């Protein structure tokens, strides 16, 4: 049988338009799911397609390991992608075109590359030590109601025995300068992610004529609350992952690390330079006003006004954060959750992390593997509810200067073909050895 090339697999997946527009509106993952299921079946891995609604498809399969006494590992990726406006792109976003050493298209790094690497590993004749559960899911780019969260709620039995999971946002190379002028290749592996809390603020007041004084103006109350929230300086709070990142990255780069105070942490992050930019969003919580709605006529003071605030919260800090937010709201302003997914925290020092590091160093002996806290969110928030330790590990080798973090959801999304092949070798080694 001819060798299966991960680049061709990823190109095939990109050519399925699986756009997720949000709010339940999507092109649908069905055709991509059928492709994945047929591929797995052809390589001796039976699978199931599960749909909470027509066209919103998930694929789940289990590969038996050599030692059934070992806890299983979940390997999960999402098939949906965010929208792409073709007029903005250099190539058609669903063409899967290879150009200048890169594979271009929506989903190339978020995250059809990882899905393709998993399939390529299966095609290589994967022989794992432990059971592997493979999940290719829908709806990650919205709320997960048709994907991971639905699977956890309705089909938890499919993940029986899984002690850990791997997925997106970690294990890629990041070239950073050391204090002595060396270039160091960091490989941040996700061991945590901030929680997501989208809040709706509703200010209530007294309706009236716009020309008359009104001390109970709902719009004024809301604007005041938003100003206080926007102005609040959240303190530095070091989680185990962020602390380990700073200490280990500083040691690798020869940069002094001082974590004795909030100001000292900020100075340490600044000294780390490009490496510090990876951790800037995760030394603090954040509360960002993003949406406003009030009124229906310029000369009418409305009785209510609403806003939404994007809140990102570090592991172990939720109660404190929401208490502070409540103290900032002021008179006549109440909050409610539009969405609420708690933070994720996996052990930094664990056999899982060690196996990921060993797999990376086997392909890149100079790799410096460090734990990393993601500022946003992934489907780990669903699977952690089943007691799994969830890690971000989708390995890639990236050329120096490549704007990887601008690729996800960006224009001209692309992934280096050599990096994809490197990632497949690392992932296969990890899946067989962990």
Residue 376 pLDDT = 81
Q: What does the alpha-carbon distance between residue 162 and residue 25 come to, in Å, rounded to a whole number?
A: 31
How does strand 72-78 pair with strand 132-137?
parallel
Q: Select from 227, 201, 19, 170 the least CA-distant residue to 107.
A: 19
**Which CATH code fits 6-169+378-433?**
3.40.630.10
Q: Select from 383, 427, 311 the least CA-distant residue to 159.
A: 383
In this structure, the number of other CB atoms found within 10 A of the CB of residue 252 comes to: 18
Helix H or strand E segment including 417? helix 417-433
How does strand 162-167 pair with strand 132-137?
unpaired
∠ CA 144-147-151, rounded to 5°: 115
Residue 1 pLDDT = 41
Q: What does the alpha-carbon distance between residue 386 and residue 160 come to, in Å, rounded to a whole number?
A: 9
The maximal CA–CA distance of the chain, rounded, in angstroms, is 81
16 DSSP assignment = S
**Could you list the mean pLDDT of each consecutive 10-residue stretch along the chain, which spans 434 residues?**
83 98 95 98 98 97 97 98 97 97 97 98 96 98 96 98 96 95 96 96 97 96 98 96 98 97 97 94 96 96 97 95 98 96 94 98 98 92 97 97 92 97 98 96
Which architecture does CATH list for 195-341? 2-Layer Sandwich (3.30)
The Cα-based distances of 63 to 132, 159, 165, 314 in angstroms read 5, 12, 14, 34
Give strand pairing partners of 61. Answer: 47, 134
Q: What does the alpha-carbon distance between residue 328 and residue 93 come to, in Å, rounded to a whole number?
A: 44
- CATH 3.30.70.360: which residues of the chain? 195-341
Cβ(73)–Cβ(163) below 8 Å: yes
Give strand pairing partners of 350. Answer: none
């Amino acid at each position: 049988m001819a060798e299966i090339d991960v680049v061709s697999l990823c190109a095939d997946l990109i050519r399925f338009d699986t756009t997720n527009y949000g709010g339940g509106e999507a092109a649908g993952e069905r055709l991509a799911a059928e492709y994945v299921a047929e591929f797995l079946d052809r390589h001796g891995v039976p699978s199931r397609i599960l749909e909470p609604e027509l066209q919103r498809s998930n694929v789940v399969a289990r590969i038996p390991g050599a030692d059934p006494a070992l806890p299983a590992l979940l390997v999960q990726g999402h098939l949906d992608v965010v929208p792409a406006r073709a007029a903005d792109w250099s190539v058609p976003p669903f063409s899967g075109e290879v150009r200048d050493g890169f594979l271009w298209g929506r989903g190339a790094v978020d995250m059809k590359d990882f899905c393709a690497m998993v399939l390529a590993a299966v095609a290589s004749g994967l022989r794992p030590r432990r059971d592997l559960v493979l999940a290719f899911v829908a709806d990650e780019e919205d709320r997960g109601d048709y994907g991971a969260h639905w699977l956890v709620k309705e089909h938890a039995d499919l993940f029986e025995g899984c002690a850990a999971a791997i997925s997106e946002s970690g294990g890629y190379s990041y070239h950073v300068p050391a204090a002595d002028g060396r270039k160091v290749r960091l490989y941040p592996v996700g061991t945590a992610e901030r929680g997501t809390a989208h809040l709706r603020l509703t200010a209530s007041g007294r309706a009236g004529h716009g020309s008359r004084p009104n001390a109970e103006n709902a719009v004024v109350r809301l604007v005041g609350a938003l100003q206080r929230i926007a102005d609040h300086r959240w303190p530095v709070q070091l989680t185990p992952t962020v602390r380990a990142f700073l200490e280990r990255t500083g040691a690798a780069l020869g940069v002094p690390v001082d974590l004795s105070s909030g100001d000292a942490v900020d100075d340490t992050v600044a000294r780390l330079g490009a490496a510090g930019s990876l951790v800037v969003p995760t030394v603090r919580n954040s509360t960002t006003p993003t949406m406003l709605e009030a009124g229906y006529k310029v000369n009418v003071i409305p009785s209510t006004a609403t806003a939404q605030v994007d809140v990102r919260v570090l592991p172990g800090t939720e109660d404190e954060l929401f208490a502070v937010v409540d103290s900032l709201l002021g008179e006549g302003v109440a909050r409610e959750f539009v969405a609420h997914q708690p933070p994720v925290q996996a052990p930094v020092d664990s056999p899982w992390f060690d196996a990921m590091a060993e797999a990376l160093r086997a392909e890149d002996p100079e790799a410096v593997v460090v734990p990393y806290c993601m500022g946003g969110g992934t489907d780990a928030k669903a699977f952690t509810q089943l007691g799994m330790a969830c890690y971000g590990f989708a390995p890639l080798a990236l050329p120096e200067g490549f704007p990887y973090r601008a690729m996800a959801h960006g224009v001209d999304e692309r992934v280096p073909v050599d990096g994809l092949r490197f990632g497949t070798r690392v992932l296969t080694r990890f899946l067989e050895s962990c």
